Chains A and B, each alone.
Chain A
């Protein structure tokens, strides 16, 4: 006997109009009208942060790269996988490693879960940096969005800190020594660290300084593991959540896209146009992480052994650039001052950049100084990461990628310092301090004091010519080889161009406060290049050393 025909629409309507359905979903039967589309956004707590309509220019992938959304999607993925991992992981040194092994061998989908968490974490660090680069290049930090950019920088720092605290939790050799390298930098903090300049004068010891607070002890151990676990799973995610709410609120309040208004602009509905893109972005991200997690396993070395230091011991990849800086600078500079300047410098960018051009678009030609120097910083950051990660082997000696780390390398040549008290420095400290001060002051002031805009090509030509001359003289005297002259040309040329010519040409018209802040940041960046040059060319360890207060430059 044939069944009576089913009226799907009628059934649907009855279900949707029922009390049960209506109590949960208030919308009623969906008709694809502007009213219903708006209602979807306004009426849903998760979606109502979005506006109802948005400018189509703000939706383009080529404009936004989707990196902000992808970062957030990864954050959610990490929270989900993180909570699942918390069912299996116990943060004590007797059990942590064993629990990771259990995840790998005994828990269904345990390895997949662990991989997803680890790879999503790495991807999130890359995504937030990419997001920052995109926001910079589209000028979306300029007035009135300065504060949100600052929030973003804080979120970047917290993302790195989350990754760093999570790095310790497997409690294997990779974890304990990477965290040891990273936290030893804290001991070098000026004033607050027991090994930093002026620290001992204020009564900082190894068991009461800022590093001790971070570790909960004098070494990475039991207390550190528990502390990092709590920070990783509870404290920092809470702070990140709060800041994310603020970050999204500001984006909404600042009309969502930085592109300036055009008359007669036709906006489109957020539902579906923005929401569908967000979904695809999140789906693509999830798919990427899933496939990566199926194909590659997260590393796990031998169980952490505080008595056996791995050689080499490296910080996690996103900090290994700073570790590479340790070759050229003392820990208080490489580990505290430089990262501090980077963070403060990034936050300061919206306040020192007065160029009104290039908000909401990729304005390469209209923002030569901003784009060039920012991208220089980004390139240097990743170049240092690459060097520290791939080109440094046992004893932190230089190993080309094709060289086996089993190869024995000769000891590095002896180093010397330029200015300092005898016998540490070749020349007197009393000469060095005023000289370095004068050079820094001159460098700070000259670009602004030279009123006429320098011809970039001619100036660079003259400078490089002079360096080449000095180099040739050095080679003739047998004091330098071709490699050293090449280093000189490269590093000095770059420092002069980015540190002197570009500021002179582009920011000499800035007011003194902004100009000074910018020049401090520029000179600090160039100091990295110059110090690398000094070490590679002349084996200089410190340009100025003041051992009595542990201050070495």
Chain B
């Protein structure tokens, strides 16, 4: 009887030994981007359909390219980054002088847009520079016509969505993103604030 007891206990012990190992999880691209985030990254990754449908055809094409994972901006970082950016390029297209004139007009019409650099950064050719900058990063591979379409979207969209009648709504949205950064990643918030890159 004693022997049986021991053997039963032994069997019970062995049975309990078959525990499953634990696997480690992998970080997704979005999580990794959020390790060194900008306030932009906390915003939505797409624009509402209603907004997009109101845009001209070429601008819509540019938007589609932007959010695409292949040959678009989202292949390297979340599309939220450009969509919620503080950059605004004045109207005028390739003509710099025209852009400067639009910029001066905007300064007169809505001086409040030039008060908070973290909400609006309005400079001539700013989107043109940024899109080209991104395109020339190694491994980007965005074709030049696609780049142009993306640029046209960004320039058009920023002016419509972030200035004029929508300025206040945009300011609230943008400030909300900055607050999110402050609470979720205070260290990064301080870094960017010091570098004037909020």
Give the number of chain A interface residues (Cβ < 8 Å): 20
Q: Is A442 an interface residue (CB 8 A)?
A: yes
Whether A474 and B9, one on each chain, are in contact in the complex, defined by CB atoms closer than 8 angstroms, is: no
Chain B residues near A463 (CB-CB < 8 A): 7
- CB distance A442 to B6 under 8 Å? yes
CB of B183 within 8 A of chain A? no
Nearest CB to that of B22 among chain A residues? A414
What CA separation (Å) do A537 and B13 show in the bound complex?
A: 13
Determine which residue in B3, B6, B9, B14 has the highest number of CB atoms from chain A within 10 A of its CB, and name it. Answer: B14
Q: Is the CB of A466 within 8 A of B7?
A: yes
Give, as a whole number of angstroms, the nearest-CB distance from A248 to chain B. Answer: 49
**Distance between A184 CB and nearest chain B CB, rounded to angstroms:** 30
| B17 surroundings in chain A (CB, below 8 A) | 418, 537-538, 540
Residues B1-47 near A (CB distance < 8 A): 2-3, 5-7, 9-11, 14, 16-19, 21-22
Residues B7 and A474 in contact, CB atoms below 8 Å apart: no
A477 cross-chain contacts in B, Cβ below 8 A: 18
Q: A414-B21, A439-B9 are in contact. Are A427 and B16 (CB under 8 A)?
A: yes
Pair B11/A470 contact, Cβ less than 8 Å: yes
Judging by beta carbons under 8 Å apart, are A466 and B11 in contact?
yes
Residues of A within 8 A of B19 (CB): 416, 426
- How many Å from the CB of B3 to the closest CB on chain A? 8
Nearest A residue to B19 via CB reads A426
Q: Is the CB of B2 within 8 A of A450?
A: yes
A379 at the B interface (CB under 8 A): no
Q: How far is the CA of A442 from the CA of B13 in the complex (A)?
A: 15
Interchain CB contact (< 8 A) of A474 among B2, B16, B18, B22: B18
> Which residues of A sit under 8 angstroms from B7, Cβ to Cβ?
463, 466
Given contacts A414-B21, A416-B19, A426-B19, contact A470 B14 (CB under 8 A): yes
B16 contacts across to A, CB distance below 8 A: 418, 426-427
Evaluate contact between A449 and B9: CB separation under 8 angstroms.
Answer: no
Query: A378 on the interface (CB 8 Å rule)?
Result: no
A537 to B17, CA, bound (A): 10
A368 to B7, CA, bound (A): 26
A446 close to B (CB within 8 Å): yes
In the complex with contacts A414-B21, A416-B19, A449-B2 CB distance below 8 A: yes
Cα(A466)–Cα(B15), bound, Å: 13
Cβ A446 vs Cβ B6 within 8 A: yes
Interface centre among B2, B3, B10, B17 (most CB of A within 10 A): B17
Q: Which residues of B contact A446 (CB under 8 A)?
A: 2, 6
The minimal Cβ–Cβ distance linking A49 to chain B, given in whole angstroms, is 54
In the bound complex, residues from chain B placing their C-beta under 8 Å from that of A540 are 17
| Nearest B residue to A415, CB-CB | B21
Residue of B nearest to A442 (CB): B6
Residue in B closest to A539 when the chains form the complex, CB atoms: B21
A479 at the interface (CB under 8 A from B): yes
> For B9, what are the chain A residues with a Cβ–Cβ distance below 8 Å?
439, 442
B2 touches A479 (CB 8 A): no
* Distance from B97 Cβ to chain A, minimum over Cβ atoms (Å): 64
Interface residues of A in 428-460 (CB under 8 A from B): 439, 442, 446, 449-450
Cβ distance A256 to chain B, nearest Cβ, rounded Å:
48
Interfacial chain B residues near A427, Cβ < 8 Å: 16
Q: Which residues of A contact B (CB under 8 A)?
A: 413-414, 416, 418, 426-427, 439, 442, 446, 449-450, 463, 466, 470, 474, 477, 479, 537-538, 540
Question: What is B's interface to A at a CB cutoff of 8 Å?
Answer: 2-3, 5-7, 9-11, 14, 16-19, 21-22
12 CB contacts below 8 A, A to B, read A413-B21, A414-B21, A414-B22, A416-B21, A418-B16, A426-B19, A442-B5, A442-B9, A446-B6, A466-B10, A466-B11, A474-B18
